[in-house]
Amino acid sequence: SQQGEEDPQALSIQEGENATMNCSYKTSINNLQWYRQNSGRGLVHLILIRSNEREKHSGRLRVTLDTSKKSSSLLITASRAADTASYFCATDDDKIIFGKGTRLHILP
């Protein structure tokens, strides 16, 4: 079964706005990772947050982790057209398990 579940399934926003995606998971984790996938391509690793961290930044990305709620959020600030992609969270138990992703579409 899927370990990570992203929400929403799809999101359309205007260029320049912020995009927030959420991820919930079921069991305890060592770390949680976010990946981006452009249409039909491989996944690109964006950011990893460890279970003892609450927030992490990387450029325009901000990730939060709430282990008590078993949830994480990915915030992309000042969105650009190039951010249009699917975003996946993945948890690392004994193997990495992905959710079904959030499809983000940035409108010009």
Partner 1 sequence: KAGVTQTPRYLIKTRGQQVTLSCSPISGHRSVSWYQQTPGQGLQFLFEYFSETQRNKGNFPGRFSGRQFSNSRSEMNVSTLELGDSALYLCASSPGYGYTFGSGTRLTVV
- Site residues, partner 1 (CB under 8 A): 2, 31, 33, 35, 40-45, 48, 88, 90, 92, 94-101
Tell me the closest approach of the beta carbon of residue 71 to partner 1, in angstroms. Answer: 19
**Which CB, 70 or 103, lies closer to partner 1?**
103
Identify the bridge partners of residue 33 per DSSP, sorted by sequence position.
48, 90
Tell me the closest approach of the beta carbon of residue 101 to partner 1, in angstroms. Answer: 7
Q: What is the DSSP letter of 59?
A: T
Whether the link from the prior residue into 108 is cis, omega within 30° of 0, is: no
Tell me the closest approach of the beta carbon of residue 29 to partner 1, in angstroms. Answer: 12
Q: Phi then psi for 85, rounded to 5 degrees?
A: 180, 180
